[in-house]
């Protein structure tokens, strides 16, 4: 599924954020009207921009527009998009999805071997902050869950906390899940500032890849990262923040996985959830594949030990991005359909599998890099 398309911008001097509509009778403030013909009797003040696949002859003088757009098939009524000076139309929020995420920044202070969205060293924070504030005001109040991702969101500094305050005020019923490497919280003042927001719907997802500092620092390619993250986690716990630990499964993290599970239980017993996550074949991973790839079938034993140990200690555990046919049946209870809908695909052979509806499938970009042991369940085996 596409989350962006592009046309030619006209009368756009800064990013504009608005809701998609195709219905000329339901336009309003912050509406972007998709149409091929502008009705003669329409009040052009009743919508903020025009999006069209046609040429310039359908535009209105001084009304922001993107024309010559190939198609709008991926956009539903009510979806929220940003239209930009360069003609890009970026989907920010999809009304029919439970997997919406605010992009905080593409900057990061780590540089993980398997980063799915490699950091970009440019100051995008003020621009994205401005877009996200407008977006938050337009998100439906019944939104169940929203992620905040990066890059590293805490690099926004005060703007990070202001974003959370804005979310708490405007979407009080929405569960917020922030992906952060946790290093910024090594500064107690950061944890203290977060605690002041008093946001019980906020959960922080923090990666810890090893119980041994050198392995973790190598995986995230940042010296002293392990110590900062662990100190950050303790500061967050001191201020009673909700924490999830995320562990990506690959050749570097697997050998000490059981030790890591014991380390988490002993040193981070306050965490609410531990997620073990299959590797995504995107971003840096294809470049580092020799250092990272291990067939998921070949780490079943380590994964099983780590999961059963933590679960046995009463910690809530999940396995993400995995396929049921690769795992033994005793681990299925931990598997979640975790892959965002727009990234989620299945192999052709999955169409004949009796477990298709229960299985989380694969990332779209893992269709060419997956376990050799994927095999559909048939009636005979069941």
> Contact residues for ligand SF4 (CB under 6 A)?
323-325, 346-347, 349-350, 353, 355-356, 359, 361, 374, 376-377
Whichever of 64 and 296 has its CB closer to ligand SF4, that residue is 296
Nearer to ligand SF4, 205 or 376 (CB): 376
CA-based radius of gyration for the chain: 23
Buried b (16+ CB within 10 A) or exposed e, 239-278: bebbbbbbbbbbbbbbebbbebbbbbbeebeebebbbbbb
Q: Give the Å distances, CA to CA, from 333 to 47, 63, 111, 359.
A: 49, 54, 33, 11
* Shortest distance (Å) from residue 2 CB to ligand SF4: 24
* Residues in a beta bridge with 80: 19, 93
Q: How far is the CB of 191 from ligand SF4 (least distance, A)?
A: 40
Rounded to an integer, what distance in angstroms lies between the CA atom of residue 278 and that of residue 273?
A: 16
- If you ran DSSP here, which 8-state letter would residue 279 be given? P
Least distance from ligand SF4 to the Cβ atom of residue 378, Å: 10
Residue 69 or 350 with smaller CB distance to ligand SF4: 350
List the structure tokens of 289: 């594949």
Give min distance, CB of 329 to ligand SF4, in A: 11
Output 21 or 371, the one with its CB closest to ligand SF4: 371
Residues in CB range of 329: below 8 A, 6 or more apart: none
Number of DSSP helices (H) and strands (E) in the chain, helices first? 8, 17
- Give 222 or 350: the residue with its C-beta nearer to ligand SF4: 350
- Shorter beta-carbon distance to ligand SF4: residue 217 or 280: 280
CB nearer to ligand SF4: pick between 292 and 350: 350
Cis peptide before 151 (omega within 30 of 0): yes
In angstroms, what is the minimal distance from the CB of 373 to ligand SF4? 9
CA distance 219 to 112: 6
Nearest distance from C-beta of residue 53 to ligand SF4, angstroms:
37
Nearer to ligand SF4, 40 or 382 (CB): 382
Find the shortest distance in angstroms from Cβ 288 to ligand SF4: 24
Least Cβ distance, residue 311 to ligand SF4 (angstroms): 22
3 state SS for 14-71: CCEEEEEECCHHHCCCCEEEECCCCCCCCCHHHCCEEECCCCHHHCCCCCCEEECCCC
Contact between 334 and 358 (Cβ < 8 Å): no
């Amino acid at each position: 599924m596409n989350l962006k398309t592009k046309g030619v911008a006209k009368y756009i001097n800064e990013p504009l954020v608005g809701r998609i509509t195709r219905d000329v009778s339901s336009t309003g403030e912050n509406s972007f009207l998709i149409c091929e013909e502008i009705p003669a009797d329409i009040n052009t003040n009743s919508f903020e921009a025009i999006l069209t696949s046609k040429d310039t002859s359908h535009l209105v003088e001084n009304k922001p527009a993107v024309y010559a757009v190939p198609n709008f098939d991926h956009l539903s009524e009510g979806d929220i998009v940003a239209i930009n000076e360069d003609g890009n139309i970026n989907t920010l929020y999809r009304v029919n999805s439970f997997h919406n995420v605010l992009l905080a920044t593409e900057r990061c202070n780590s540089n993980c071997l398997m980063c799915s969205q490699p950091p970009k060293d440019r100051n995008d924070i003020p621009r994205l902050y401005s877009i996200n504030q407008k977006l938050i005001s337009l998100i439906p109040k019944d939104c169940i869950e929203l992620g905040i991702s990066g890059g590293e969101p805490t690099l926004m500094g005060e703007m990070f906390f202001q974003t959370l305050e804005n979310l708490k005020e405007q979407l009080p019923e929405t569960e917020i899940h922030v992906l952060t490497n946790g290093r910024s919280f090594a500064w107690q003042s950061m944890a203290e500032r977060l605690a002041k927001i008093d946001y019980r719907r906020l959960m922080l997802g923090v990666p810890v890849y090893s119980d041994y500092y050198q392995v973790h620092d190598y995986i995230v390619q940042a010296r002293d990262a392990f110590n900062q993250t662990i100190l950050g986690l303790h500061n967050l716990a001191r201020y009673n923040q909700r924490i999830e630990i995320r562990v990506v499964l690959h050749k570097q993290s697997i050998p000490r996985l059981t030790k890591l599970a014991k380390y988490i239980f002993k040193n981070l017993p306050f965490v609410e959830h531990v997620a073990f996550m299959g590797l995504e074949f995107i971003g840096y991973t294809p470049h580092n594949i020799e250092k990272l790839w291990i067939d998921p079938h070949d780490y079943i034993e380590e994964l099983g030990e780590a999961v059963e140990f933590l679960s046995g200690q009463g910690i809530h555990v999940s396995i993400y991005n995995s396929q049921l046919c690769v795992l033994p049946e005793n681990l299925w209870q931990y598997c979640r359909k975790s892959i965002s809908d727009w990234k989620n695909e299945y192999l052709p052979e999955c169409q004949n599998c009796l477990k298709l509806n229960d299985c989380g499938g694969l990332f779209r970009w893992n269709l060419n890099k997956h376990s050799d042991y994927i095999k559909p369940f048939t009636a005979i085996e069941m």
